[in-house]
Amino acid sequence: MTMGATTSPTIDDRFENMLISPERVLEMLGKRRVGEVTFEQSEQGDARRLLLNVEKIAIENKRLQAKTEASYLESVSHQLHEVLLEELTEQLSATDELVQNILNLPENVGELLDALSVRACSVSKLEPIAATMPWLFDELIVIVNTPQFRRKDSRGRIIIVETLRTALSFLGIENLRTLIPSLILKRAIPQITDPHPLIKQKLVQYATGVALTAKRLAAMSDINKNEAYTLGVLSNLGRCAVTRLYFKLFDKIQLHLLQECQKDKEQKRHDALLKIVPSANHLIAMQQEFADAVSADILESMQLKRLPIAAPMRACANKAPAERGTLCKVLHQSRTYTQVRMLHQLKLVEKKEVTPLFNEQKFPTGALEKLKSVDIFTLPLVKNE
């Protein structure tokens, strides 16, 4: 390799950074945003050339001081993240507490998913389980009263749905098989991720894309499409857990360290801690290290009896070779395809980079052509007459 040669970031690295901020990927690829000009083209460049020698020296001193400060900040950030990683690892291992206290999901969520998965699923079987989840009732009531599902009585007046049974009936079992896993994920999605507010939006888009792609691919591979869809959605619960915990622990540990500094009168460290914000690089590293294993832990903790998605999630987490025609392989294919679609939307990937990835995944014959025309980012809900 010649000196100064750089390697283009992988599709995976681009995707992980795009989930946090597309701007990060533009920087990784060396692309300037629209309207940006190079330093040499700018007025600043002209001004710099006119600087007197004294000013040049002052600027160099300022640069060295900034470098020293940045190095100290990095050191303090490293200490904070060492403590954070230890706590995060410990809390991720307590799966039941993680599900109930961090993701806010009920103990009987597995029972609900099992009931949905059987062919003989009915409103009367779903209602008593769903009735134990007030948040689910609230979500379903809002959806069933939207114009898409609104019904009118014999006099043409809009029927306002107020009971769970009516909501379940009006929505219909097929819509519920699509909606409920998505609402479970929505419940788990991190809400406060400042200074990276796009995370929740991108995570919902990704989970929906993976799930709907998996459903399509399953139908082409003689695999149960509802199982593939549900695995596609819920395979992201680990991402939700890691993200929620990271931001929660960052705030807690930063506050604790600030209080220590006040107590010990460490002004320099105190000032540095105030400047540190949640780190995208640390979050990405933690996602890559823990997310899939945590998803597998969560699905296993649900003790699913009729919905066989825990084993393929564990195989995926263990990076076991996935055979064609299995749920694990469909998940891999769906993730690859969705990541590429999301990057392509923002012009962050080129066709020549994608072809080897798609070839490696061995999609069913004709699948990629069919997927081109599918909206994988919008839930395909239909009015149930």
For the beta carbon of residue 199, count every other beta carbon within 10 angstroms: 23
Report DSSP state, residue 306.
Answer: S
Q: Where are the alpha helices (DSSP H) in 108-163?
A: 109-117, 123-130, 134-144
Compute the average pLDDT of residues 341-351.
92
Measuring CA to CA, which residue among 169, 180, 209 is closest to residue 114?
180
Going by pLDDT thresholds of 50, 70 and 90, the confidence category of residue 363 is: very high
Tokens 């990937």 sit on residue: 349
Going by pLDDT thresholds of 50, 70 and 90, the confidence category of residue 41 is: very low
Compute the average pLDDT of residues 55-79.
74
* d(C-alpha 334, C-alpha 13), whole Å: 17
Regarding predicted confidence, which is higher, 153 or 36? Answer: 153
Going by pLDDT thresholds of 50, 70 and 90, the confidence category of residue 340 is: very high
Q: Where are the alpha helices (DSSP H) in the chain?
A: 11-20, 22-28, 43-49, 53-92, 95-97, 109-117, 123-130, 134-144, 164-171, 173-188, 199-220, 225-234, 237-264, 267-275, 280-301, 310-317, 327-345, 351-361, 367-372
Asked if 164 contacts 137 with a C-beta cutoff of 8 angstroms, the reply is: yes
* d(C-alpha 335, C-alpha 88), whole Å: 25
**What pLDDT score was predicted for residue 7?**
73
Between helices 225-234 and 327-345, what is the axis angle to 10°?
60
Mean pLDDT of the chain: 89
Measuring CA to CA, which residue among 349, 333, 239, 285 is closest to residue 11?
349
Coil, helix or strand for 350? coil
Q: Is the Cα dihedral 270, 275, 277, 281 positive or negative?
A: negative
**What pLDDT score was predicted for residue 5?**
43
Q: What is the pLDDT of residues 138-197, one digit of tens each?
A: 999 999 999 999 898 888 899 999 999 999 999 999 999 999 999 999 999 999 999 999
Burial 336-364 (b: 16+ CB within 10 A, else e): bbbbbbbbeeeebbeeeebeebeeebebb
Tokens 């410990």 sit on residue: 90
**Beta-bridge partner residues of 152:** 158
* d(C-alpha 238, C-alpha 93), whole Å: 12
**What pLDDT score was predicted for residue 40?**
44
Name the helix (H) or strand (E) containing 197.
none
Going by pLDDT thresholds of 50, 70 and 90, the confidence category of residue 68 is: confident
Between helices 327-345 and 310-317, what is the axis angle to 10°?
70
Asked if 139 contacts 177 with a C-beta cutoff of 8 angstroms, the reply is: no
**What pLDDT score was predicted for residue 2?**
40
- Percent of the chain having pLDDT more than 70? 89
DSSP string, 3-70: TT--PPPPHHHHHHHHHH-HHHHHHHTTPPPTT---GGGSHHHHHHHT--HHHHHHHHHHHHHHHHHH
Going by pLDDT thresholds of 50, 70 and 90, the confidence category of residue 71 is: confident
pTM: 0.88
**Beta-bridge partner residues of 158:** 152
**What pLDDT score was predicted for residue 196?**
93
Verify cis geometry, omega within 30 degrees of 0, for the bond prior to 147. no
- Has residue 355 got a pLDDT over 70? yes
Tokens 């206290």 sit on residue: 101
Q: What is the pLDDT of residues 95-147, one digit of tens each?
A: 999 999 999 999 999 999 999 999 999 999 999 999 999 999 999 999 999 99
**What pLDDT score was predicted for residue 34?**
47
**What pLDDT score was predicted for residue 54?**
53
Tokens 């105190």 sit on residue: 270
**What pLDDT score was predicted for residue 382?**
87
